[in-house]
Amino acid sequence: MACPFHQTAELNAALLPLDWLLGNWESDEPGEGCFPNINPFRYTETLHFSHVGQPVLNFMFNAFHAESKKPLHRECGFIRRQPGTNRVAFIIAQNSGLVEIEEGELTGQQLNLHTVALARTSFAKEPHVQEISRVFQLRPDGKLEQTVSMATVNQPLTQHLHITYHRSA
């Protein structure tokens, strides 16, 4: 059963600097993924950022293989902003069995985030992810861009994903 998000509440004032994220986003062109131990791939993705009036944004990301349309990666969670600062935290649960907290800085309409805590299921796929960094940026043309870098026990921090989105209805 899906839990619908209701956006009837007023946006909490603590989140006003993040209001540019709110709404639904769809990838323009397929994004590109690569990493040293996997074949390069292309994917599409939808993003949904919402709120219920609390000082927290809710999000859900759904990625699909660009050609086969099969579901790939899913992430959901919350975005918190430390009151009176530019510090932001993403609390993320992934369908791969990874749970993480990324923290970073909000500068204008750009978020730079980096892993501060990671947990995984005891049977998570190896090599285990050790670190993630991600950048969200609202471009002057109104498109949202995301770049994700990842490190595993075998590989230093390396760009893994890059994609751009447009707002959808």
Q: Domain segments of the chain: what residues?
A: 13-168
Helices (H) and strands (E) in the chain, counts: 0, 11
- Is pLDDT of 116 > 50? yes
pLDDT, tens digit, 9 for 90 and up, residues 148-163: 999 999 999 999 999 9
Measured CA to CA, the distance from residue 75 to residue 20 in angstroms comes to 20
> What are 60's two structure tokens?
């859900």
User: Which amino acid type is present at position 124?
Assistant: A
Q: What is the pLDDT of residue 1?
A: 46
pTM of the model: 0.92
Q: How confident is the model at residue 77 (pLDDT cuts 50, 70, 90)?
A: very high
pLDDT, tens digit, 9 for 90 and up, residues 26-47: 999 999 999 998 999 999 999 9
CATH for 13-168 (3.40.640.10, 3.40.50.720, 2.40.128.20, 2.40.30.10): 2.40.128.20
Cis status of the peptide bond prior to 83, with omega within 30 of 0 = no
Lowest mean pLDDT among 5-19, 24-38, 82-96: 5-19
> Cβ-count burial of 52 within 10 angstroms (0-12 exposed, 13-18 middle, 19+ buried)?
middle
Q: How confident is the model at residue 86 (pLDDT cuts 50, 70, 90)?
A: very high
Q: What value does the mean pLDDT take over residues 55-78?
A: 97
